[in-house]
Structure formats: structure tokens, C-alpha cells
Chain A
Amino acid sequence: MPDKALEPVQPRMYRYDEFDARFVGERVEQFASQVERRLKGELTEDQFKPLRLMNGLYLQLHAYMLRIAVPYGTLSSRQVRKLAHIARTYDKNFGHFTTRTNMQFNWIRLVDVPAIQRELASVEMHCIQTSGNCVRNTTADQFAGATDEEIEDPRPLCEIIRQWSSLHPEFVFLARKFKIAVGACAKDRAALQWHDMAVQVVKNAQGRIGYLVMAGGGMGRTPYVAHVMNEFVEREDILAYLEAVLRVYNQDSRRDNIHKQRIKILINTIGPEEMRRRVDREFQELKRMGTLQLPREELARIAAYFAPPEFETGLPDAIPDAGPDFADWVKTNVSKHKAPGYAIATITLKTPGQVPGDCSSEQMDAIADIMDEFSLGEVRVTHEQNLTLPHVRKKDLPAIHARLKALDFAAPNAGLITDIIACPGLDYCDLANARSIPIAQKIARRFENLDRQHQIGELKIKMSGCINACGHHHAGHIGILGVDKKGVEFYQLLLGGSGAEDAAIGAIMGPGFGEHEIVDAVERVVNLYIRERKDGERFLDTYRRIGMEPFKNVAYREQLYAAHTG
């Protein structure tokens, strides 16, 4: 049972008013009746499918999977405890944090779904539009409101987008899914350029705050980095602009080939210039109509929910000494906070051997306690499947580290080679061609030695079990893609991708490696980097300087050698 001794701390985040509560409540009952019609056979699976998807319910390999929205990755301790309770009561005692910063449960019974959604509604959570061909959960920089790098907290805009996109009557049957992300600093921790649409908070030459809008990024079988649609949209026009983009997409996207129906295909077929022209026409009309104008007061009203907490003053600004393990963890997992005496702490759910992103009920409850005690009741989910404690006092870091260590969540590897993104893969997923989790675990074990990890430095491995790219393999410094060749799992290597502000699409090295070769191939690639790198170069920098060929030579040469010598 969770520790009831602690009173949950309510963080500064959006709270439902009576309208939001009623909306979510009615949506839950609407879906409950759809579930009932399905169970009675009044809806065929084909008819039920788009309805359940829009309510977060997938049919996977072994069971239903329920995906719960974590809007822009922000969770309160009360919500984390509720997720723990759901995992314990309705699932196999664990949940999985996804790259869309959502939580998914992999072993759900259809009959339980209405009850689960009612429980979620009681803590202001829902599953609305966590899948299906509609606008999905909006993601944001996990350091929002805590970093001094940002122009402003991007989450108020995310919340405005959440409300505007919830059951939008024109856009719930889009050609494909549609993902939006929002960032507010030059440093990109939210993979903006990989999104169907992304908004970056910017300042213009006059110092006025507005929004840069990009569209057409995406992974999947045809990866593209987004194009800038508009360099500067005024604050009050942003919803009109986003609606204009969606409108052009809904009207003009292909509908005849599921693999060519994302907005990236439309934009790269008609060209970004033509796309901007079409969007601008809709935008001008929407502006004239004025119904989507965002009044300053409304933005201020939403922003007030996210007002910075009252940070304590006079705190020591030095991180205490607490031994070498702690020092290692600080090196990678602690980041600069905007308030003196505070820090941002990243909890990687990637201790070598763990399933990336998985979290048990006990771990969730313990994290909720840590949130209440040390982080003003708040945690953020990151698109790299980690958690971030946004506001912790530096003096508390040793205590937090000790608590995380007891949970096996103190891996000092944020941003290092063992901090791997992996999709659920063939162990769970209906679409997968190959397993991801065991390969990610093997790689993490191979590079477990911390000195070696630090020697390698920043190196992002991202892995998907099929070309749908849920594990973001195109954006990995080293990407791994599982493929199926006549019933045997093979793994292709991609090099040079990036999901950050220097976004790039990884290049495929060549034919795939077998299950027993892939970890060696990764290691040979990494070793070549260590030999070739010049001062201060990350893996990505060295790759960009010397290109694919030298890496390819080592990766395959030794494989061939092994083949010849048996």
C-alpha cells in the first residue's frame, strides 16, 4: 500500500474546472456505452476500432493495451499514485512510459476499461486521443518552467492546444495520426523537428514573444525533418494558425495509401512553399473570422496555473559531497535550474537490464513519495522514456539519490549509451517485426561499465522493432531497426540521426545483423569512434566529419571475418 503518511503536494499545473471535469466525465460514459455495445455485439470490431483508438485502447498481440495521456509530460504525485493503483488492480503491476510521454498498460481487459477511465477522471486524467487518426497528446520540453534557457514556460500553450484539439469536430477523422510538440528554447529536448507540427516560442526583433511553427516532420518508413511554415505567428493567432495547417492537411492529404497519408508526405509532395501558401489562405480567413483568436486574458488565465512555485531563498547553491556513486549520478543526471539552490534531476528508467520505460506499482508509489518530499509534488515524463524531477533543492540531492538507488532507478546514465529508447517490440506489439527490449538490454549490459560510458560520452541509441519507428531509430546517433527476413529477426544499423536542435535523419549502413551479431556490431562502431574522435567530439560529430564508410568497414569486415573462420 502507498505510504499514506504524506499529504500529497499539489504542484503548479493545470487543474480541471467544472467544464473540463464534465467534459472528461461525459466522454468516459460515452465510451463506456460504446464498450457495452461492443460486448453485446452491436458494434463490429471494425466499427469499434476507431472509437476505442480515440479513447486510447489498442488490441495488441496478447491483450488490450490502454494508453493514458500525460499532457505535456506533467504529473502530480496524486496522479502517479493513481497510475500505480491501476497497474496493481487492473494490470500486471507495472506500466510503461512511452516516447509520447504517455503511460501504457499492456494487459488490460475490455470490461475493466470504463472503471479505469472513471478512476483516471477522478485525478483529472484521461485517454482521449492517445491513439487513432487524430491530434495526439501534445509533448513539451521536460525542463519547462525549470530551466533558465527558455523564453517562457511552453506548457500553458500546450494546455490550450490540448483543449482546442479535444474532440475537435473537424479533425477527429484525419488521414493519419497527428503529433504536436512545443518547445521554448534554442536547445531542443522535445524532438520538435520530428513532429507533424511543432511550435517553438521565439522572440522577434522587437523583443515580442510569438511562435515559430514547423510542420511535416515524422519518422515511420519515410522519415522527414519538419519545414518551417511560419517564422513568427503572433500569440493571439496561434490557434488560428494551427487550425489552418490541420485544415489543409485534412482537405488535401491522400487517403488511398495508408503509408502516404501523414502530413510529411503532403508537404514534401506539393513542396513547402505551396503548403505555406495554402495554409496562409486558411489562416487569413480564420483571422478575419476571429473565432479562434486567443485573448490575452485567456492565455494569462491558463498561464497562472503554471506560475513558478515560490522557490526558497538562501539555500546553499553547492551540491553536497556524498561519495563517488553520487558524484557520477550528478555528472549525468543533474541539470541546471533557474533558481539558485535548486537543480533538475533526471531519473533514467534504464538501469542496465531493465526494460526501458517500465515502472512497477511499488516504484511508482515510491517516486510519488519522492515527488512530495523533494520536488514540490511534481514529475515530468520525457520523450526519452525517463522521468524528471523539475524542482529539487541541491542539498536534497544525496537523499534523492539514495532513495532512487533503493528503487534501482539511480543509473548514472542520462544521455549516455545505455540510456536507450526502445519500443515494446515483438514482445508486445502487433505490428513489430522483431524484438527490441532484449536487444536494448543486451547493449546496456555490454556497456554497463560506467567509466567506459563516460569515456564514450553523449551517445543516443534508439531502437524500433519495425519501420513504424516508435523507438525513434531515425533520430538515434546510432539507430537500430528490427526487420523480419523470412521469419528470422535481423537488425539494421543507422548512424548519424539526431532528435535535438541539430535534427538529422540517420543513414542506413546496409544489410541487417543477426540477433547475435548486432551488439558486437554496435561495439565495433563505438570503438572506431573512440579511435577516430578528435578533442571534444561527440559520436555524432565524428560521424559527421568522417562519414559512414569507416564505420561500415569495421562493422561488416569483422562480421565477414567471423563468417570465414567459422
Chain B
Amino acid sequence: MSLTGNSFMPLIRVEGGKPRIATDAYAAVADDAALPEGAVLVSLARFRKEREQLLARNTPVGVTLQAGENPELLGDDVSRLSLVALEFPKFRDGRAFSWARMLRTRLGFTGEIRAVGDFLYDQVNYQHRVGFDAWLVPDSFTPETFERAFHEMTNVYQPSSDGRKTIRDLRAAR
């Protein structure tokens, strides 16, 4: 029995610019469950309560943030995390787009930003642009699905966390 509860949800991660099926090394641990060996993913509440202990384990720690939880709540600890999972409670709730962008820019987070919860195929390109690089998805999503989503629109108008050249940059380079 997996403690993660997502054993049927494949993880897709962008590595070397390519979406691939990845192994989820993190055990998502409920707030009242015992901590297993190895990498763990805990809620913000648990992280705050057991911060010292979690950081002293010398194994990777990830925190899941609910849509209403601003990553700044992590304070300086953000640099000690290797994964931040951002929750989409329903696909219409777009707060995590700003949280991912904030993690990548203001907070300089270089670890994995993982989308979890309810989101659509049609959102993964936006998620990718603002800084997400991993997705916990139903198994109908394949790396090819992601490839397609990333390339439906060739160019973009806005600068974002992905550092892509914008249409304005391309115009200037003509």
C-alpha cells in the first residue's frame, strides 16, 4: 500500500526541456500520519509545526500549498525545499499561476513546482510558462499530450518565468 495515495496518478516532469514520465520520489504524508523514510511531501501546516524535525532529516522535503496559501508564508525556508506542490482546488481557481510565478521570480525557487488537483489540458501550457515543471495527472495525459499543449501557440506576447523570447523581442530581432 502506498502512502502517497496517488499511485495511479502518473507524474509528468519537464526535464531537459522535454516532458517525460517521472518517478515520484516523494511520499505525500497526511497531517496525522507517521513520517516514512525518504523524501516527503507535507502540508504547510505540518511543515510549520514540525519544521525543525523535517529539515534535520537530510532527505528532500516538499510542501503542498493550498490555493489560498501564499508561498511567502514559507519565508526563508523556501530555499531549503526541493519541491513545492501547488493545489488547484478547481480548474477555475487561477491563484496558483501567480504563486508559481512568484516562486520562480521573487523567491528564486529552483526546485520542482508541481501542479496537483483539478486542472485541464488547456491550462498546462500557461502553467508551464509561469514556472510549473511537474504535473500529477490522470493517466490519459501522456508526455505527448504535454508536447502538443506546449506547442499549440508558437509565440507569446508576455514575458514570464520561462524567460521565453516574446513577440516584441522577435520583432526587435528582425
Give the B-binding residues of A (Cβ under 8 A): 17, 19-20, 22-23, 26-27, 29-30, 34, 47, 50-51, 133, 163-164, 166-175, 247, 250-251, 255, 285, 289, 291-292, 298
Contacts and interface: CB of A to CB of B under 8 A. Distances in A.
B157 A164 contact: yes
Contact of B97 (A27, A30, A170, A298): A170
B34 interface: no
Contacts of B130: 169-170
B97 A26 contact: no
Contact of B106 (A19, A166, A171, A285): A285
A167 B149 CA distance: 14
Given A164-B158, A168-B158, A173 B153 contact: no
A174 B155 CA distance: 22
Interface in B140-174: 152-160, 167-168, 170-171
A251 B70 contact: yes
A27 B122 CA distance: 12
A173 B97 contact: yes
A405 to B, nearest CB: 44
Contacts of B106: 285
Residue of A51, A173, A289 most packed against chain B (CB within 10 A)? A173
Nearest to B72: A251
B160 A27 contact: no
A164 B157 CA distance: 6
B94 interface: yes
A79 to B, nearest CB: 21
Given A19-B171, A164-B157, A170 B122 contact: no
B171 A17 contact: yes
Contacts of B93: 173, 255
B160 A170 contact: yes
A17 B68 CA distance: 40
Contact of B91 (A23, A50, A251): A50
Nearest to A17: B171
A19 B92 contact: no
Given A169-B126, A292-B159, A26 B154 contact: yes
Contacts of B33: none
B46 interface: no
Contacts of B167: 19-20, 23, 163
Contacts of A285: 105-106
Contact of A34 (B122, B129, B157): B122
A250 B153 contact: no
Contact of A169 (B67, B97, B122, B170): B97
A27 B95 CA distance: 24
A538 B97 CA distance: 48
- Give the interface residue-count category, chain B: 35 or more
B101 A289 contact: no
Contacts of B95: 250-251, 255
B123 interface: yes
Given A164-B157, A169-B127, 15 more contacts: A19-B167, A20-B167, A26-B152, A26-B154, A29-B152, A30-B152, A51-B122, A168-B158, A169-B125, A169-B156, A169-B158, A170-B160, A173-B93, A175-B94, A250-B97
Contacts of B102: 251
A172 B159 contact: no
A251 B120 CA distance: 20
Nearest to A29: B152
A25 to B, nearest CB: 10
Given A23-B167, A169-B97, A250-B94, A255 B67 contact: yes
B98 interface: yes
Nearest to B168: A298
Contact of B155 (A23, A175, A291, A292): A23
Contacts of B152: 26, 29-30
Nearest to A170: B97
A173 B157 contact: no
A299 to B, nearest CB: 11
Interface in B78-97: 91-95, 97
Interface in B112-135: 120, 122-123, 125-127, 129-130
B59 to A, nearest CB: 31
A22 B156 CA distance: 11
B89 to A, nearest CB: 8
20 contacts: A19-B167, A22-B155, A23-B154, A23-B167, A30-B152, A30-B153, A47-B91, A163-B167, A166-B157, A167-B153, A170-B130, A170-B158, A170-B160, A173-B91, A173-B94, A251-B98, A255-B67, A285-B106, A289-B105, A298-B168
Contacts of B120: 47, 50-51
B97 A171 contact: yes
Contact of B98 (A26, A50, A247, A298): A247
